[in-house]
């Protein structure tokens, strides 16, 4: 009797993905899938057939998905492989981590290094760079270590503000957030000042080239092919560059009207609003994250620029230890806290070092890699600072002329510097929205719980940030001061006080706090406070 | 009671968002179209027209929605809804913050049942248990069970804890179905005899619409404790694929060098799955055996009293 049933065999292409346990292949001895994982897999396949592909009604929530050990990759041939370490995000080798840390730390403070060394005196300046670098490295190491001492909670995705919240409650959370904001907003203000500066100089260069004007800044410049100028920029006063326009057929009214419309402090900061306010209001900053490589290129270009300039100008160093001479500065000056303030921001990475180090492939090398990164950063800063300081042509000019932004010491007609300025301008325009996004996420996230409450909230925040930048660019465009103040303020909390306190508290909880350690860390806190206080007396 | 009386119902009730639609979709293999995932309370009852256990029709009701309109409709249609109910399955969301309100709606449903269908069986499912931490699940479920049993008097309710992400959902519904089959013990004895006669490794009896395992016999220990749910999922997926071609699944034979498995229609409410580990036995022999057994089991079902109204369907 022939059966009327239709006999069906499973076709390979329609086989639901269940694999017999003895087909599981592993590197080690034969292993089987856990029963829970196998049946969950069956459920997931079935549930996915019940909905449209974009529907998430029956998608497994996170707590249901099995442990990474139970996740296998099935091949169509029926074998299954356990993927080793498949739960971790891409782990980076040490060299990448070191580079990431270096890249993140390298900021606009590199432009203020020569000025900072000048303010402290050459010898003292070099010592301070090394000393502060080591100090900040130690504090960074403390920050990196801080989540590890929390034993009973999973701290794998914590950042330093979370650790502060754990130890100090709401106070810790809000104050670490606030101080972190100071560093970010300080950086954004510096960016605005610099962008106005670079845009002004770029515009000036193009205008001069177009109208064949050769600009010479009266007696405060060197002769020869490599011009270095000493602009009489005084913070608090409007720019008073004495310019001499040698031009054949230029109407003075024309020239002055250009100067009217294109002024470094009066008008250019406002022109930037038109460009940057829309960019800041973007919902997502992922587009701008693609341009972070520009930062690296601009630092490398600056190093090249500095080398070339130093080679052309030669060294002009004279060591006058304590007395002030006309052309040189003493080796030890009482203005050195200004340098420490700048360096606190220059070496600042404490609010994101945990995240950066998390993806290091060999975690046991974290301390070594961090130290190497700090060493490289210190060397880069020293290189730029020392070379510009040493190469600054002192006999005609004064060392005291070195500007907080050392590019200001070169006229706007200098081609290499023009390229540097344009490059930096472009780089800053792409980084500025990224910083704004970070500020927005942190502030909006903590106050409203939502990263984008409404367009008007974002607009209000952006107007405040841009307003601060414009005001500074208009009335006080001294980036050296802005950097040292914001560095000292945010460094107080996030570099000196919180890490030291947390370290001491965790040691005391373990009963391992020694007197020496307590004295040393208290001394760190005192240093941080002194750093901030000293800024106000300079 | 005439055989053409109103169809008996299975009421699936619970608060809006407690998981009824997902549960119904998973158990009955209904495709959830995007728009039927309503954004508010279900205003109208969802008739599933699923032949469950022969003649029962599945009705899905939202209970305790936000609308007062909903409540008025509910109270005015109460008798209509609760008449001729065979089974009431009430779903509680374990994470609900309004326990008082939930219990209140549950009690009003029970009152209506007492008035209109006093013979109905009541099942309570404490759902979404995966959202509770593992070590607390038993405790919380016991608490809820005690409360529910107390509130349900004089009706007797059976409580289960369920989650769509583990085996508890399948097991709970299998238990419900097991309790609804009228002569299930007899079925089991006969199934065992059948299996021993044909020398099968394992014989399973599935409910037709949902492929929930009603009863099974195995002659030796099997490795995989979850095999029932997995088979059910596989066949339901296959049924979904068949329905896309406007074909309906009737039977299947799967064979390799180690075993032969036969899935076939059995009685009007059930499917049977026979696993033979002796591959030398020809398929035809097993199929004949199954066909002969079918007649015997159908007679068993027919024997039962009219009040369970499991109608026979002509082939």
pLDDT in tens, B226-279: 889 989 998 988 888 888 888 888 888 998 888 899 999 988 878 999 999 888
CA distance B166 to B301: 33
Nearest to A265 by CA among A84, A478, A6: A478
Supply the pLDDT for residue A75. 60
A contact test, residue of B23, B32, B127 with most A CBs within 10 A: B32
Q: Which residues contact B236 (CB under 8 A, 6 or more apart)?
A: A46, B29, B211
* C-alpha pair distances (Å), B65 with each of A138, B14, B109: 60, 9, 14
Report which secondary-structure segment, H or E, holds A73: strand A72-74
Chain B residue numbers touching A47 (CB-CB < 8 A): 26, 164
Using a CB–CB cutoff of 8 Å, tell me whether B246 touches chain A. no
**What residues of B are in contact with residue A48 (Cβ under 8 Å)?**
none
* Model confidence at B139: pLDDT above 60: yes
Nearest to A5 among B30, B233, B264 (CB): B264
Closest CA to A493 of A501, A485, A504: A501
Largest CA distance in chain B: 67
pLDDT band at B105 (very low <50, low <70, confident <90, very high): confident
Checking if the pLDDT of B101 tops 50, the result is yes
Place of tokens 């560093």: A183
Strand partners, A245: A215
Output A84 or B215, whichever has higher pLDDT. Answer: B215
B226: nearest CB among A10, A39, A47: A39
- Give residue ranges of A with CB < 8 Å to any B CB: 1, 3, 5-10, 14, 16, 18, 21, 35-36, 38-40, 42-43, 45-47, 49-52, 55, 57-58, 60-61, 63-64
Distance, in angstroms, between B299 CA and closest chain A CA?
A: 22
Residues 6+ apart with CB under 8 A from B291: none
Q: Which residues pair with B206 in a beta bridge?
A: B213, B271
Q: Is A330 helix (H, G, I), strand (E, B) or coil?
A: coil
Cβ contacts of B25 on chain A, cutoff 8 Å: 50, 58
pLDDT mean over A479-501: 90
pLDDT beyond 80 at B6 = no
Rg (CA), chain B: 21
Query: What is residue A131's predicted lDDT score, i.e. its pLDDT?
Result: 93
- Is the ipTM, as predicted for this complex, more than 0.90? no
Q: Domain extents for chain B?
A: 4-177, 182-300
- Residue A281: CB atoms within 10 A of its CB come to 15
Which residues, at least 6 apart from B275, have a Cβ–Cβ distance to it below 8 Å? Answer: B200, B201, B202, B203, B259, B260, B261
Task: Tell me the longest C-alpha to C-alpha distance in chain A.
Answer: 119
The domain B4-177: what is its CATH number?
Answer: 3.40.50.300
Asked if A8 lies within 8 A of B34 by C-beta distance, the reply is no
Q: Is B103 on the interface with A (CB under 8 A)?
A: no
> Hey, what are B295's tokens?
């007649």
The C-alpha of A39 sits at a distance from chain B's nearest C-alpha, in angstroms, of 6
- The CA distance from A9 to the nearest CA of chain B, in Å, is 6
Distance CA A516, CA A522 (A): 10
Choice among A96-105, A157-166, A189-198, B1-10 with the minimum mean pLDDT: B1-10
Give me the CATH topology for the region B182-300: Beta-Lactamase (3.30.450)
Tally of residues, chain A:
538
List, for residues A13-31, the tens digit of each pLDDT value: 444 555 555 445 454 444 4
Query: Residue B16: pLDDT band by 50, 70, 90 thresholds?
Result: confident
Is the pLDDT at A201 greater than 90? The verdict is no
Give per-residue pLDDT as tens, B172-201.
Answer: 998 888 888 777 888 889 889 999 888 888
Q: Is A288 left (phi over 0), alpha (psi -120 to 50) or beta?
A: alpha
CA distances from A126 to A310, A385, A389, A447 (A): 18, 9, 11, 42
Q: CB A46 to CB B233 under 8 A? A: yes
Q: Does B253 touch chain A (CB under 8 A)?
A: yes
Q: Are A109 and A342 in contact (CB under 8 A)?
A: yes
Q: Residue B144 pLDDT more than 70?
A: yes
| pLDDT for A380 beyond 90 | yes
CA A33 → CA A25, A62, A69, B47, distances in Å? 10, 20, 9, 40
Band of residue A72 on the pLDDT scale cut at 50, 70, 90: low
Residues contacting A243, CB < 8 A, separation 6+: A215, A216, A217, A218
- pLDDT at B85 > cutoff 70: yes
> HSE (CB half, 13 Å, CA atoms) of B193?
9
Looking at the complex, does the CB of residue B222 fall below 8 Å from at least one CB of chain A? no
Question: Does the beta-carbon distance from A58 to B253 stay under 8 Å?
Answer: no
Q: Does B252 touch chain A (CB under 8 A)?
A: yes
Per-residue pLDDT tens over the stretch A228-280: 887 764 333 333 333 333 333 334 445 567 777 787 778 888 888 998 988 88
Identify the structural domains of chain A with CATH numbers, from first to last: 6-82 (no CATH), 94-535 (1.20.1740.10)
Instruction: Provide the shortest C-alpha distance from residue A151 to chain B (in Å).
Output: 21
Residue A381 CB partners (closer than 8 Å, separation 6+): A109, A110, A113, A129, A343, A346
Distances (CA, A) of A66 to A60, A87, B302: 10, 11, 47
- Cβ–Cβ below 8 Å for B26 and A35: no
Which position has the token pair 């090398």?
A365
* B30 to chain A, closest Cα gap in Å: 7
pLDDT of A487 over the 70 cut = yes
Q: Which residues pair with B57 in a beta bridge?
A: B9
Question: What pLDDT score does A77 carry?
Answer: 55
DSSP string over A341-396:
HHHHHHT--TTTHHHHHHTBSSGGGHHHHHHHHHHHHHHHHHHHHHHHHHHS-TTT
Which pLDDT band, with edges at 50, 70 and 90, does B135 fall under? confident
In this prediction, residue B263 carries a pLDDT of 92
Q: CB distance from B197 to chain A under 8 Å?
A: no
pTM above 0.80, yes or no: no
Where are the extended beta strands (E) located within B96-173? 121-127, 157-161
Mean pLDDT of A272-292: 82
């Amino acid at each position: 009797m022939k059966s009327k049933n239709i006999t069906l065999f499973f076709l390979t292409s329609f086989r639901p993905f269940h694999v017999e346990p003895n087909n599981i292949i592993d590197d080690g001895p034969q292993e089987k899938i856990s029963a829970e994982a196998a049946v969950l897999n069956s459920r997931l396949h079935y549930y996915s057939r019940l909905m449209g592909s974009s529907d998430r009604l029956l998608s497994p929530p996170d707590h249901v998905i099995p442990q990474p050990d139970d996740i296998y990759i099935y091949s169509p041939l029926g074998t299954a492989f356990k993927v080793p370490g498949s739960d971790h995000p891409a782990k980076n080798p040490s060299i990448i981590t070191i580079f990431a840390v270096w890249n993140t730390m390298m900021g606009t403070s590199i432009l203020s290094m020569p000025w900072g060394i000048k303010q402290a005196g050459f010898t003292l300046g070099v010592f301070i760079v090394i000393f502060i670098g080591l100090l900040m490295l130690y504090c960074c190491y403390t920050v990196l270590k801080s989540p590890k001492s929390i034993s009973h909670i999973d701290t794998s995705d914590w950042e330093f503000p979370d650790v502060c919240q754990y130890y100090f409650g709401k106070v810790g959370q809000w104050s670490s957030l606030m101080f972190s904001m100071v560093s970010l907003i300080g950086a954004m203000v510096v960016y605005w000042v610099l962008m106005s500066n670079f845009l002004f100089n770029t515009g000036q260069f193009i205008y001069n080239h177009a109208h064949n004007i050769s600009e010479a800044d009266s007696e405060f410049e060197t002769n020869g092919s490599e011009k270095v100028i000493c602009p009489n920029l005084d913070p608090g006063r409007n720019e008073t560059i004495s310019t001499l326009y040698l031009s054949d057929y230029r109407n003075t009214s024309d020239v002055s009207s250009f100067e009217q419309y294109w002024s470094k402090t009066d008008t250019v900061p406002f022109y930037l609003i038109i460009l940057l306010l829309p960019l800041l209001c973007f919902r997502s900053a992922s587009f701008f994250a693609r341009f972070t490589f520009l930062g690296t290129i601009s630092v490398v270009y600056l190093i090249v620029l500095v080398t070339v300039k130093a080679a052309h100008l030669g060294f002009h160093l004279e060591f006058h230890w304590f007395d002030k001479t006309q052309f040189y500065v003493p080796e030890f000056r009482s203005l050195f806290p200004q340098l420490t303030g700048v360096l606190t921001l220059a070496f600042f990475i404490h609010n994101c070092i945990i995240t950066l180090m998390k993806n290091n492939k060999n975690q046991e090398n974290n301390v070594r890699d961090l130290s190497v990164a700090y060493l490289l950063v210190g060397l880069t800063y020293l290189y730029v600072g020392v070379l510009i300081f040493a190469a600054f042509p002192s006999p005609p000019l004064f060392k005291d002329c070195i500007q907080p932004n050392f590019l200001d010491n070169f006229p706007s007609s200098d081609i290499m510097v023009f390229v540097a300025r344009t490059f930096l301008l472009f780089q800053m325009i792409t980084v500025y929205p990224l910083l704004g996004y970070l500020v927005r996420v942190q502030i909006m996230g903590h106050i409203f719980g939502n990263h984008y409450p409404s367009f008007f909230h974002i607009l209000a925040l952006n107007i405040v940030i841009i307003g601060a930048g414009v005001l500074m660019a208009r009335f006080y465009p001294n980036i050296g001061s802005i950097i040292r103040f914001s560095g000292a303020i945010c460094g107080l909390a996030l570099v000196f006080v919180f890490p030291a306190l947390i370290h001491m508290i965790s040691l005391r909880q373990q009963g391992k706090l020694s007197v020496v350690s307590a004295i040393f860390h208290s001394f760190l806190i005192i240093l941080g406070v002194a750093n901030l206080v000293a800024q106000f007396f300079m | 009671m005439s055989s053409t009386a109103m169809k008996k119902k299975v009421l699936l009730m619970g608060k809006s968002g407690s998981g009824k639609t997902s549960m119904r979709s998973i158990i009955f293999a209904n495709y959830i179209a995007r728009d039927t995932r309503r954004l508010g309370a279900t205003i109208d009852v969802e008739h599933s027209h699923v032949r469950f256990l022969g003649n029962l029709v599945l009705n899905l009701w939202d209970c305790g929605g936000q609308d007062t309109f909903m409540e008025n409709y509910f109270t005015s249609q109460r008798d209509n809804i609760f008449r001729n109910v065979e089974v009431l399955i009430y779903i509680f969301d374990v994470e609900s913050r309004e326990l008082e309100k939930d219990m209140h709606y549950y009690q009003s449903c029970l009152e209506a049942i007492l008035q209109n269908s006093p013979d109905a069986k009541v099942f309570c499912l404490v759902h979404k248990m995966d959202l509770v931490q593992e070590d607390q699940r038993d405790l919380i479920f016991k608490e809820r069970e005690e409360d529910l049993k107390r509130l349900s008097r004089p009706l007797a309710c059976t409580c289960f804890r369920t989650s769509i992400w583990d085996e508890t959902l399948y097991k709970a519904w299998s238990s419900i179905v097991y309790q609804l089959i009228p002569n299930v013990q007899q079925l089991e004895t006969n199934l065992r005899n059948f299996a021993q006669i044909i020398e099968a490794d394992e014989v399973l009896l599935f409910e037709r619409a949902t492929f929930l395992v009603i009863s099974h016999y195995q002659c030796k220990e099997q490795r995989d404790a979850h095999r029932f749910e997995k088979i059910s999922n596989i066949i339901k997926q296959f049924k979904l694929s068949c329905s896309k071609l406007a074909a309906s699944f009737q039977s299947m034979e799967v064979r390799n060098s180690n075993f032969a498995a036969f899935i076939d229609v059995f009685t009007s409410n059930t499917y049977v799955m026979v696993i033979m580990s002796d591959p030398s036995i020809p398929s035809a022999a097993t199929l004949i055996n199954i066909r002969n057994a079918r007649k015997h089991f159908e007679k068993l079902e027919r024997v039962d009293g009219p009040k369970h109204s499991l109608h026979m369907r002509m082939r």
